Amino acid sequence: MTLAELFANGFTAASIVLAGRNSVHTWWTGILSGVLFGWVFYLARLYADVTLQGFFVVTSVVGWWGWLHGAERRALPIRTTPGRWLAVAVVAGSGFALAYALLLHHFTDAYAPGPDSVVLSFSIVSQFLLVARRVETWWGWLVVDTIAVPLYLSRGLTLTALLYAGFWVNALVSLRHWRRQLEAP
C-alpha cells in the first residue's frame, strides 16, 4: 500500500459518506480523491479507472455547483428517474463498457479490461445520477462496488477493495436514506 492509496481511500470514503448523507461537501472531497486515485490506478495498470478518476474530478466540479445552485438558482431536490431513461442508461452503459474493453484489450497492456471497463461505464452512469440527485444512483453504485471489490483485490489493492466493500454497505444505507428524504413532506 502506498501513501497515495491511503490518502485516496480516506478522501474517497469521506466523499461517499457525505454523498449518502446528501451533503454538498461530497464534491470537494471527491475532487481530491479523484486526483489521488488516478495516480494509484495508473500504477496498477487499471487504465479505465484512470479515465474514470478524470471524469470524477470534472463531474465533482459540476455537481458542486449544481447542488448549490441547481436549476433556476435553487438547490436540486432528490428525485426519481423515469424507467425509460434508466433503460437507455443501462443499454448505453453496457455498450460503452464493451467498446472500451475491446479498446483496452487491443491497444494497451491493461489488466482485466472487461471488469475495469464495466466499473468505468457504470460509474459514469451512477455519477450522472448522483449529480442530478436521483435515488437510482445508489443501485448503480451497488453494481459498481460488487465488481470493483474482486478487481481491486486481484491487483493487490487490498485497502481499496475493503473501502469499496464498505461503499457497498454505504450504498444500501444511502438508498434507504435518500428514499426517506424523497418521501418526506
Contact in structure between 118 and 97 (CB atoms under 8 Å): yes
pTM, two decimals, is 0.83
What are 94-124's pLDDT values in tens digits? 999 999 999 999 999 999 999 999 999 999 9
Strand partners, 134: 79
Query: Whole-angstrom distance between the N-terminal and C-terminal Cα of the chain?
Result: 46
What are 123-166's pLDDT values in tens digits? 999 999 998 899 999 999 999 999 999 999 999 999 999 999 99
Contact in structure between 8 and 37 (CB atoms under 8 Å): yes
For the chain, how many residues are written? 185
- Cβ atoms within 10 Å of 58's Cβ, excluding its own: 12
| Amino acid at site 97 | A
Contact in structure between 142 and 107 (CB atoms under 8 Å): no
